[in-house]
Amino acid sequence: MPQFRLTLLGRFRLDDENGREVAVASRKTQAMLAVLAVHSPAAVTRERIAGLLWGDLADERARHSLRQVLTALRREAAIVEASSETLCLDSDACTSDVSEFAALAANTEAAELARALTLHGGDFLDGLASKEEAFAEWLSAERTRLAKAAVTIMLQLAAFHAGRAEHQAAVQLLQLILAGDALNEGAHRALMRSLDTLGRRSDALQQYQLCRELLLKELQVEPDAATRALHDSLRAASGTPRRSEGGGRPVVAVVPFANVARAPEIDSLATSIADEISRQLAHAPGFRVVVQPAVLAAMQPNPDDLRQLARVLGATYLVTGSLRQPESGCLRIALQIVDGEKAQYLWSLQQDLLRGGKAAVDDFVAGSAARIEQQLSVAEATAGDAHDDRHDAWHKTHQAASALFSAGWSETAVATAVQRYREAIALDPDLALAYAHKAMIIAFAQDWGLLHRDPARDEARADAEKALELAPSRSEVLGMAACAIAHLGDPARAVPLLERAIEENPNNAQAWAALGATRLLQMQFAAAVEALRRGLRTSPTDYRRSVWLTALASGLVRLNRLDEALDAAQGACRSDAKFYPARIVLAMVLAKLERDGEARKALADATRLRPQLTLAEMRRFVGSALDRLGASAGF
């Protein structure tokens, strides 16, 4: 049974089995014991200890000083096991609060975490200073690490208490965190939620103001999007809504991915994939995304209880995932979207990747984020249809996007989408994205003959300008409004707007594709192909893929890369079986390859999709390239 107890969290203290303090006056001895306790039960080399504590002395003198310290310590407390090369704390003779704290902090049980917190009596080796630079750096790093661990425990316990509706206990823990780390935004948000649940909404709003003032004063930054969104939702509930900043948007939380393979080398990959998908979804208009640290804190103490997790985070949807290794060199990634209230799967995806390719993982993440965004919009549109009380602007916006996700580019889908965007704007005249998206759809639909109304181009121009006025620096708005401006006849003005959109968000696939389409209008074909390919790589399953591939095929034809153009045109036809322009461009490519029979079939398919198709309409997409075939086909 251990005879001694070493206390390091707070001021240094060594007690014997009767609780009497053992005098350890030497600061070098205290420092040595601290190093050994942190590494326990592992051993530490004598060389490492000597370097930390006597780095200014020659090796032999440093080792001699270490031997003197060990000899003096043995007379008072034989608690160090020593060999010729290493030292370690004798766990049979001495326990330490640092070792116990580390073991308890790794637990997921609330009771164990609470015990860990009781051990944290203050800063590690509080009051101990050293002139040795190496030890001083080590001590600073350990103090920071242990302090962060204590904060993480408090966040986990606060989330546990909040999940059990014990909000007063949560408030006390969160206030304790902020007393030591006033810039911890996660703690500010959690405190705002608990205060609001306790009926103290004015205190919750005041907490936001305090958080904002501290961040501006100390870091010269505004609170992040999650904090602002929570503040806006509280204000809206108080009867002081700020509609243009997104009240009513559904909340999405990406849950850390499970390493089902239980392979240590996959742990960091699982974490990074979930984190990157979370960051990319933060750009998705119409949704609020919970930051990863808040998700991790809320998962304690029951990480598998998805309904509880959604309740604690206020999340409408959860994104979950897992990584497996079905065979050597292969990584299988599964994704799911879960309804937070019902804990039911709404959508799933599984894909195999070859290991070792960062580019493949990056492409998977970008494509998955785009598909998740698309499916979330469909889910929101469905939810809006099922609930008569969900008629806010964002739900109308999701319904508009869903019309094109579900039906593809057709006259009916375009008319439905445009009408939904008009309804969204009527509900919220400051919703920039609705103006931008409507402008882009009208501009395309007019070019393709899918919208028959002369004033529509004027409406699209006005919408694009209004969107830029409302959100002049938001990437998604810039990309769509500039795309509309280009197709309405001003590509030169559109290019710098699109470049700004890409600078704001390099993963904005729509802006890349729009830049490519605009370069086509400017006859800059190589640049057009490069930008379109970048957009397709970034969002390989986007509902606009058929449009982008059609534009890519056109650019490749101009560069006389006909085999590549054929692949792109066939891909466009597969992506949207109802998108008749893809069939026209495919016919052009086949005609240039002197495959007239197949070209006529492609034209027949285009006519089947659009019986009123005319030669003049075909020229919008391929110039006079199909005049010969069109005439022979009766156009």
Report how far Cα 69 is from the mean position of its chain's Cα atoms. 51
* Helix and strand element counts for the chain (H, E): 28, 12
SS3 119: helix
Q: Is 627 exposed, middle or buried (0-12, 13-18, 19+ CB in 10 A)?
A: middle
Q: What is the Cα–Cα distance from 328 to 4, expressed in whole angstroms?
A: 50
Q: Could you give the maximum distance between any two Cα atoms of the chain, in Å?
A: 108
Q: What is the Cα–Cα distance from 75 to 68, expressed in whole angstroms?
A: 11
Ramachandran sector of residue 160 (left: φ over 0; alpha: ψ -120 to 50; beta: rest): alpha
Place of tokens 């509880």: 308
The contacts of residue 179 (CB under 8 Å, 6+ apart) are none
Q: What is the DSSP string of 490-517?
A: -HHHHHHHHHHHHHH-TT-HHHHHHHHH
Q: What is the Cα–Cα distance from 165 to 181, expressed in whole angstroms?
A: 25
* Tokens at 635, concatenated: 């156009």
Beta bridge partners of 258: 322
How many CA within 13 A on the CB side of residue 53?
A: 26
Q: What is the Cα–Cα distance from 53 to 134, expressed in whole angstroms?
A: 7
Q: What is the Cα–Cα distance from 3 to 49, expressed in whole angstroms?
A: 24
Q: What are phi and psi of 180, to 5 degrees?
A: -100, -25
Report how far Cα 98 is from the mean position of its chain's Cα atoms. 34
Does the predicted model carry a pTM greater than 0.75? no
Place of tokens 């004598």: 46
Q: Give the CA dihedral 514, 518, 520, 523, nearest 10 degrees.
A: -160
Q: What is the Cα–Cα distance from 502 to 478, expressed in whole angstroms?
A: 9
Q: Kindly list the averaged pLDDT for each block of 10 residues, start to end, along the chain of length 635.
A: 86 92 92 94 93 88 92 91 94 93 87 89 87 91 92 90 86 90 91 86 86 89 88 69 46 90 81 87 80 78 81 88 86 91 88 73 80 83 56 78 73 87 90 92 84 76 92 89 93 94 87 95 95 87 83 94 95 86 92 91 89 81 76 65
Beta bridge partners of 251: 288
Q: Are strands 13-15 and 4-7 parallel, antiparallel or unpaired?
A: antiparallel
Cβ 445 vs Cβ 410: under 8 Å: no
- In terms of Cα–Cα distance, which of 599, 603, 600 is closest to 611? 603
Q: What is the Cα–Cα distance from 110 to 164, expressed in whole angstroms?
A: 12
Q: Are strands 317-324 and 251-254 parallel, antiparallel or unpaired?
A: parallel
Angle between helix axes 475-487 and 509-521 (nearest 10 degrees) is 20
Element (H, E) at 198: none
Domains in the chain and their CATH numbers? Answer: 4-146 (1.10.10.10), 165-241 (1.25.40.10), 251-380 (3.40.50.10610)
First to last CA, the chain: 98
Residue 240 has what pLDDT? 38
Element (H, E) at 137: helix 133-163
Cβ 626 vs Cβ 591: under 8 Å: yes
